[in-house]
């Protein structure tokens, strides 16, 4: 199965959100751009590295920022959404909040 | 002036000083930041760091860390070569750049 196209990236994100009980950002224009970013990263790196972080291009070094990243849950717990503003908690989504830039949690970056 | 080339300049009728944006071509908040500056008619320059060759990319990251004492996260705004903002917050950017 190709994971390099925007529809595939969209399906991937929808599947992750569904399995984790998360909601996708309702701003469709914003997340379509993130889907394009995920697809682009899959084409150039071979995996869905976070579109909001610069990847090294080596899976082992980027393992913590492969979507959904290792920082997604703690960011959701603190801010209600992931670093990229892609995955929202149910509570945050129901509150109608808009995801914003949040501090980077990744050590050393 | 920054040591690195690779910036694209966006012309505008508002001169808010020298504005340089380090962005990723895939980042939603970077896109929002660039759209905000365009909407305000501000003249600025930006680069997509992820599209640089690896050695140039590392050089930019090293320069940012050395010059500003912080890691490069996106979007990263440098105003008049000295003041920086990390991440996009419309209110914060408006205040720093003197935009209404």
Q: How many other C-beta atoms can be found within 10 angstroms of the C-beta atom of residue A44?
A: 15
Q: Which domain holds residue A63?
A: 6-95
Q: Using pLDDT thresholds of 50, 70 and 90, give the confidence band for residue A105.
A: very high
Cβ-based contacts of A31 with chain B (< 8 Å): 28
State how many domains chain A has. 1
Please report the residues numbered 14 through 33 in chain B whose beta carbons come closer than 8 angstroms to any beta carbon of chain A: 24-32
What residue numbers bound the domain in which B93 lies? 8-97
Contact A100 B50 (CB under 8 A): no
Report yes or no on B3 lying in a domain.
no
Q: In chain B, whose CA is at the least distance from the CA of A40?
A: B26
Residue of A nearest to B49 (CA): A54
CATH value at residue A79? 3.90.460.10
- State how far the Cα of A60 lies from the Cα of A58, in Å rounded to an integer: 6
- CA–centroid distance for B36 within its chain: 12
Using 50, 70 and 90 to split pLDDT, how confident is the model at A60? very high
Express each pLDDT in A12-41 by its tens digit: 999 999 999 999 999 999 999 999 999 999
CATH number at residue B56: 3.40.30.10
Tell me if B36 is assigned to some domain: yes
Domain presence at residue B40: yes
Across chain B, mean pLDDT equals 93
A33 in Cβ contact with B31 (< 8 Å): yes
Whether B74 and chain A come into contact, CB under 8 Å, resolves to yes
The answer to whether residue A40 sits within a structural domain is yes
Chain A residue numbers touching B72 (CB-CB < 8 A)? 54
In a domain, A66, yes or no: yes
Residue A36 to residue A10: CA distance in whole angstroms: 9
Does any domain span residue B91? yes
Q: Specify the pLDDT at position B3.
A: 45
Quote the CA–CA distance of B98 and A11 in Å, as a whole number.
42
Q: Which helix (H) or strand (E) holds B57?
A: helix B54-68
The answer as to whether A56 is a domain residue is: yes
Number of folded domains in chain B? 1
Note down pLDDT in tens along chain B; length 100 residues. 444 578 999 999 999 999 999 999 999 999 999 999 999 999 999 999 999 999 999 999 999 999 999 999 999 999 999 989 999 999 999 999 999 7
Helix (H) or strand (E) holding B31: helix B28-39
On the question of pLDDT at A2 being above 60, the answer is no
* pTM of the entire predicted model: 0.94
């Amino acid at each position: 199965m190709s994971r390099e196209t925007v529809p595939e990236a969209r399906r991937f994100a929808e599947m992750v959100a569904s399995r984790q009980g998360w909601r996708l950002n309702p701003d469709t224009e914003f997340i379509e751009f993130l889907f394009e970013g995920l697809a682009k990263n899959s084409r150039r790196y071979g995996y869905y590295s976070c579109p909001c972080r610069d990847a090294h291009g080596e899976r082992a070094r980027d393992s913590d920022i492969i979507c959904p990243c290792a920082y997604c849950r703690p960011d959701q717990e603190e801010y209600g959404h992931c670093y990229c503003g892609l995955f929202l908690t149910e509570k945050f989504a129901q509150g109608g909040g808009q995801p914003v830039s949040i501090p980077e949690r990744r050590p050393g970056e | 002036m920054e040591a690195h080339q690779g910036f694209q300049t966006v012309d505008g009728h508002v001169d808010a000083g020298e504005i340089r944006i380090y962005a990723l071509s895939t980042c939603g908040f970077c896109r929002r930041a660039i759209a905000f500056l365009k909407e305000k008619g501000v003249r600025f320059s930006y680069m997509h760091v992820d599209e640089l060759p690896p050695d140039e990319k590392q050089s930019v990251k090293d320069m940012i860390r050395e010059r500003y004492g912080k890691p490069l996260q996106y979007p990263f705004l440098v105003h008049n070569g000295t003041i920086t903002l990390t991440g996009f917050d419309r209110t914060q950017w408006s205040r720093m750049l003197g935009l209404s």
